[in-house]
Amino acid sequence: MAKVKVASAWLDCCSGCHMSFLDMDEILIDLADVIELTASPITDIKEFSPVDVGIIEGSVSNEHDEQVAKNLRANCKILMVLGDCACFGGINSMRNLFTIEEVLHRYYSTESTTKDSKIPSSEDIPPLTEVKPVNQVVKVDCYVPGCPPSAKAIHYALTELLAGRIPVLPSEMMRFD
Amino acid sequence: MGEITLTINGKQVKGKEGDTVLEVCQANGIDVPTLCHLDGLSDVGACRMCVVEIEKERRPVPACTYPARDGLVVETNTERLERYRRQILELIFTEHNHFCMFCEASGDCELQKLAYRYQMDNVRYPYTFPSLSVDSLSDYLVIDHNRCILCGRCIRACSEVAGSHTLDFSQRGWKTLVTADLEQPLGESSCFLCGACVQACPTGAIFSKLSLYKGRTDECQQVKTVCPACGVGCELNVLVKDNNLVRIEAPRLTEPRGPLCRMGRFGLLEPTPPRVTSPLIRGKQGELEECTLHKAVEVIVDRLAGVKDGLAGMISTRVPSETLSLFNRFIGEVIGSDSIDTLDGESYRIITNGIRQFQDNGRGLDIECPIEDIPEADCIIVVGADPEKTNPIISTLVRRAVRQRQAKLIVVNSSRDVFPLWTDLWLKPRAGSEGVLLSGLAGILIDKGLVVSGKASARLIKSFSRYSIGEVVRTTGIEEERLELLAGMYGQAERGVIIYGDELLRTNDASSITTILNLANMTGNQVGDRLRVISLKPRANSRGAWEMGLARGIKRGKLKGLYLLLADERDSGELLSWLKGIDFLVVQASYQSPITSMADVVLPSPIWAEREGKYVTMDGRVLELKRVLQPKDGLPQDQEVLIEISQRLGHKLT
């Protein structure tokens, strides 16, 4: 049987969900027999090739995030999002309480230890947008909340997908923290 | 109440007339999710989680406010209802900040639990991100409006449990906020810091600074015990993690004896002075030095041999009856002195003298009514007392009577109105003239015929006509009209309660207590054979100590040596002045204080949470104080220390 192709990406996040993915430990060896990971934050591949399952960690917080989310969506059959940031906006979305100018000012002027600091600007830096969960930008097929989701929850979701079902975490596996 | 039969989810179930559909469901073990409902509080149908379908109703209705009727056909868990409930949750999550990962309540949150139950793994609506304030200016409480779901449980608890109604909604629509008074910061509002709102809050919107991030409920052990803070004896549920106090809750918040006060819920968790962690004796330079218990006992035995007469014992009544009893025997049998007193013994001597002068049939303190009669009262006179300071739960009950029963509240106090904003009448007699005022009141009641016939004997009438009204006015400085207003309110009351306390007792005049009892008796303000009179007693087991005969009194003039079991008293400044001239002072105390630094020998003592035993509350109930914490560093219990000294003196105490 051909391996299921999977690509993962991270947007605005702490990478904790991917760490939790790695926390599956020895299960990863078994997964490697049935899954082919074509792209991940480690490979740093900029363009996605078509895959069966796309996985996104993190919220959509700038124009680049939105591009990545749309790009992966266009290249996967099923899109699964990992963690509270991707599912709900998460801790990043606290900055939605302020304007983008206030946030940048706070970060680069008030909290900065650099003398005469200024807010960097360049066309290479994607502008910040309002922080959104992934489902407000692209269609999402399944969600694994948690901050981060446990390795057990991620394993459950992958196992369901491999069995041809759309995973919905059972109540006892749900965590928002 | 008539029995009714309903069909819920296809099954016939019984309910009582007057029940809501939710109450019938709960009584029959049918699970209906709730959020704004809290057992014992009124229901408002704010959250709509409990929606049910009822035959012939066009749309789902909240079960918590829908009256159950005979023959009603109800469905509680159809596919449509489950869909609506999840949708309600999603809408609540979009409204304010409900991101759990940095919330104090995560793991203890009812909103979170429901979201798990309904497998809410995403939200289909845009979030609103309103920028709301956090009010953290109160001593103990924080209101984070961002976490608030506007269920109104805090508001109902504040009104119905605390009798305060400091909290209510302000603004309208999606600008609605829970607010204190007229949008005051909580710390500057009329809040009494009872913390009922904290316990009622289902999310992290109102929380206690003292319990913040200390532990979740499921990480804690829970111990049911009695509050040591005053004589009322409220039941506490203490949460403990790793031998540290996390949180204190009311086990039955909404019941008559349920609410707690700032002293019980928060005061017990406040930082304490440094503990006495080892026995201390005076060294060569006169400084206190650490030593073994063995050595400290040796010093005590040596010094006692030198002082034969003028020895006495004094004990705090925060300790349980077992300790009191052993101390009584220790002073009597081992030290050989009958000079023994408690820190609040004087209050009891005055109260019981007053009762004896009224009726000497040995009933003593049982002539007073239990505190349950306060919230039922229609008129309350608070004379020479500040319950908010000494026994805050009594003031909660007074406020409930005023708010819920429209009771008249009269404060008789020479210095201040102890219920500002709540009193109907504040009489400010000249200091020390309270007794005259009370006699004057009795005289007016007799004159106006507001007494039950036959209850006022000729002798009594004569004694109350001792003062003419003119004299009463002159002595107390209160106008006649105001005295008559008072007489009218109390004389016409059917359930009038008189509460008195430390400030009246400080006048050292037992006859004013007799007058209070006469007033209640003459006007028929009694429940069964108890008079509607309550004296406020300070410490948790002060009544226990009185009944065991420890409050006999000490002749201070001849005092040469004192064994003072101070336990975990924090404020004992009153003692300092007369301890000075004592030759030999042993202090057994939990905390370092000016008193321990005066002592010749200091011995350690456990705090309330490290003790166990029995407490007798001010209305005579016997309650069990349970050990909540293991004593720090294996510190001995008070009894162990007393037994050790006794053994060295050749006595066997057990």
Asked if residue A110 is part of any domain, the answer here is no
> Domain range holding A157?
4-93+129-173
Q: Considering only alpha carbons, which residue of chain B is nearest residue A169?
A: B119
Q: What is the pLDDT of residues B110-155, one digit of tens each?
A: 999 999 999 999 999 999 999 899 999 999 999 999 999 999 999 9
Asked if residue B120 is part of any domain, the answer here is no
Chain B positions touching A133 (Cβ under 8 A) are 122-123
- Same domain? B338 vs B395: no
Q: What is the pLDDT of residues A118-136, one digit of tens each?
A: 888 899 999 999 999 999 9
- Same domain? B142 vs B264: yes
Residue in the structure block whose two tokens are 């201040």: B416
Asked if residue A122 is part of any domain, the answer here is no
- Mean pLDDT across B220-240: 96
Instruction: Provide the β-strand partners of residue A6.
Output: A37, A53
Question: Which pLDDT score, from 0 to 100, does residue B450 have?
Answer: 92
| Pick among B89, B109, B122, B132 to test the A interface (most A CBs inside 10 A) | B122
Residue B260's CATH number: 3.30.70.20
**Partner residue opposite A147 with nearest CB, options B101, B123, B124:** B101
- Same domain? B45 vs B142: no
Burial class from Cβ neighbours inside 10 Å (0-12, 13-18, 19+) for residue A71 reads middle
Question: Which pLDDT score, from 0 to 100, does residue A60 have?
Answer: 98
Q: What is the pLDDT of residues B162-189, one digit of tens each?
A: 999 999 999 999 899 999 999 999 999 9
| Pick among B106, B118, B129 to test the A interface (most A CBs inside 10 A) | B129
3-state secondary structure of B486: helix
What percentage of chain B exceeds 70 in pLDDT?
100
Asked if residue B232 is part of any domain, the answer here is yes
Q: ipTM score here?
A: 0.95
Q: DSSP secondary structure string, chain A?
A: -PPEEEEEEE-BS-SHHHHHHHTTTTHHHHHHHHEEEEE-TTTT-SSPPPEEEEEEESBEEEHHHHHHHHHHHHHEEEEEEEHHHHHH-GGGGGGGGS-HHHHHHIIIIIS--STT------TTSPPEEEEE-GGGTS---EEE-SSSPPHHHHHHHHHHHHTT------GGG----
Residue B644's CATH number: 3.40.50.740
Work out how many domains chain B is built from and give that number.
4
Asked if residue B118 is part of any domain, the answer here is no
Domain end among B229, B249, B269: B269
CA trace torsion B3, B8, B11, B17 (10° rounding):
0
- Same domain? B560 vs B610: yes
CA distance B397 to B403: 10
**Partner residue opposite A168 with nearest CB, options B103, B119, B124:** B119
Asked if residue B87 is part of any domain, the answer here is no
Contact B115/A174, CB-based, under 8 Å?
Answer: yes
Contact B121/A174, CB-based, under 8 Å?
Answer: yes
Residue in the structure block whose two tokens are 């003031």: B395
CA distance B122 to B635: 53
Q: Does A168 touch chain B (CB under 8 A)?
A: yes
Q: What is the pLDDT of residues B57-66, one digit of tens each?
A: 999 999 999 9
Q: Considering only alpha carbons, which residue of chain A is nearest residue B119?
A: A171
Q: How many CB atoms lie within 10 A of CB A49?
A: 10
Backbone angles phi, psi at B186, to 5 degrees: -55, -40
Residue B18's CATH number: 3.10.20.740
Rounded (to 5) percent helix, strand, coil in chain B: 35, 20, 45
Q: Considering only alpha carbons, which residue of chain B is nearest residue A93?
A: B129
Min distance B410 CA to chain A CA atoms (Å): 49
Residue A32's CATH number: 3.40.50.700
CA distance B633 to B626: 19
Asked if residue B84 is part of any domain, the answer here is no
**Partner residue opposite A133 with nearest CB, options B103, B106, B122:** B122
SS (H, E, C) B393-407: HHHHHHHHHHHHHCC
Asked if residue A150 is part of any domain, the answer here is yes
What percentage of chain A exceeds 90 in pLDDT?
84
pTM of the model: 0.93
CA distance B263 to B387: 12
CA-wise closest residue to B351 among B546, B551, B505: B505
Work out how many domains chain A is built from and give that number.
1
| Pick among A91, A176, A177 to test the B interface (most B CBs inside 10 A) | A176
- Same domain? B168 vs B213: yes
Q: What is the pLDDT of residues B273-332, one digit of tens each?
A: 999 999 999 988 889 999 999 999 999 999 988 877 889 999 999 999 999 999 999 999
Contact B106/A176, CB-based, under 8 Å?
Answer: yes
Asked if residue B551 is part of any domain, the answer here is yes
> Domain range holding B301?
280-344+541-648
Min distance A33 CA to chain B CA atoms (Å): 29
Asked if residue B109 is part of any domain, the answer here is no
